[in-house]
Chains A and B, each alone.
Chain A
Amino acid sequence: MNSKTLYFEDVDLGDEIGPVERIITDEQVIEFVKLREIEFESGPSRFTSKEVAISQGLTEAIVPGAMNIALMSQLLTGWAENVCLLKIDVVFRKTVPHNTTLIFNGIVTGKNDDSGNNELECDITMQLQDGVKMVIGNSVISLPNRL
């Protein structure tokens, strides 16, 4: 992740965020699921077990939706250290596999300082290398003014 600082004045409509490539491993998913103790204690699930996933009609274990939105939000909070995420809104269009290259992209689609909050609207997507979009959505972030 970059340790850079961005200011509201420096961002224009159409500016791209990312792309960021990530691979979510089995171990990372297990660590995430452990945090939701109730779920983890109920045994293997389609998130942690390929066998359970296949029994549910899937082809492999999948990344939890809650983890996917966390990863999507990181695209934004990782853009610069001073990004403040105000809202994120996503649609899960396809299940996300473990151990597969995921490409996160964003683009600035709106800029609004009317409310005094220096808000930027951004489209965000997660896709596979073949271009299939797994998660789409938008977000509102805030950046400070250059003093």
Chain B
Amino acid sequence: MTTDDGIVYNRSLLGVENITGTFEVTRDMILGFARSTGETYERYIGDTNGKGDISAPPTICNIFVTGLSRPDIELEFGELSFFAGQSIECKLDIKPGDILTGRTKLDNVYSKTGRSGKMVFTVWQTSFMNQNSEIVALVNESFVTRNKNA
């Protein structure tokens, strides 16, 4: 492993695409996500009986993108990691019964300073494709690692 900026991590992972998994989107999943975030529109929660056509709220892909499904970049810095930012581009509606395949790649690793002291940011680009090979969402995510007592 080599570094610049004093950041030590597995640089061979940069730009390498990994499949994070295949996920089935169920009606219960959509309703659970909608309920937990307080959605009230029928298009997400169905009618008063919970029936009818529904689509997933736009950010539902977050259910499928967790730290456990990304490669460990072996970053030698910091004790804690937090979500630093995210963009989600919604290409198509996600419906019950969709099977989504997620692919992710490490885009960038860099450091900066802030109120919490020195931080290292790790940026991932993830795409979700449905069973018809259509891209349904493009997700960019940034995670920040820092020391605990910052």
Contact = CB atoms under 8 A, between A and B. Distances in A.
Contacts of B36: 28, 31-32, 35, 67
Interface residues of A, number: 35
Interface string A116-145: 000000000000000000000100000000
A1 B41 contact: yes
Contacts of B82: 65, 92, 95
Interface residues of B, number: 33
B57 interface: yes
A137 to B, nearest CB: 8
A28 B33 CA distance: 10
Contact of A36 (B37, B66, B88, B148): B66
Contacts of A89: 85-88, 140
B66 A69 contact: no
B27 to A, nearest CB: 13
Interface in B44-103: 57-59, 62-63, 65-66, 68, 80, 82-90
A90 B86 contact: yes
B59 A87 contact: no
Contacts of A11: none
B87 A87 contact: yes
A40 B121 CA distance: 25
Interface string A48-88: 00000000110000001111011101100110010001111
The 5 closest A-B pairs by CB, nearest first: A65-B83, A66-B62, A89-B87, A32-B36, A31-B36
23 contacts: A1-B40, A28-B36, A28-B38, A31-B35, A35-B32, A36-B62, A56-B80, A57-B150, A66-B63, A66-B83, A69-B88, A70-B33, A70-B37, A71-B38, A73-B57, A74-B38, A77-B58, A78-B41, A87-B89, A88-B87, A88-B88, A89-B86, A91-B85
Interface of B: 29, 32-33, 35-41, 43, 57-59, 62-63, 65-66, 68, 80, 82-90, 140, 148-150
Given A85-B58, A87-B88, A90-B87, 20 more contacts: A1-B40, A1-B41, A22-B38, A32-B33, A35-B33, A39-B68, A57-B80, A65-B84, A66-B62, A67-B37, A69-B88, A73-B59, A74-B39, A77-B41, A81-B43, A86-B89, A87-B89, A88-B59, A90-B85, A90-B86
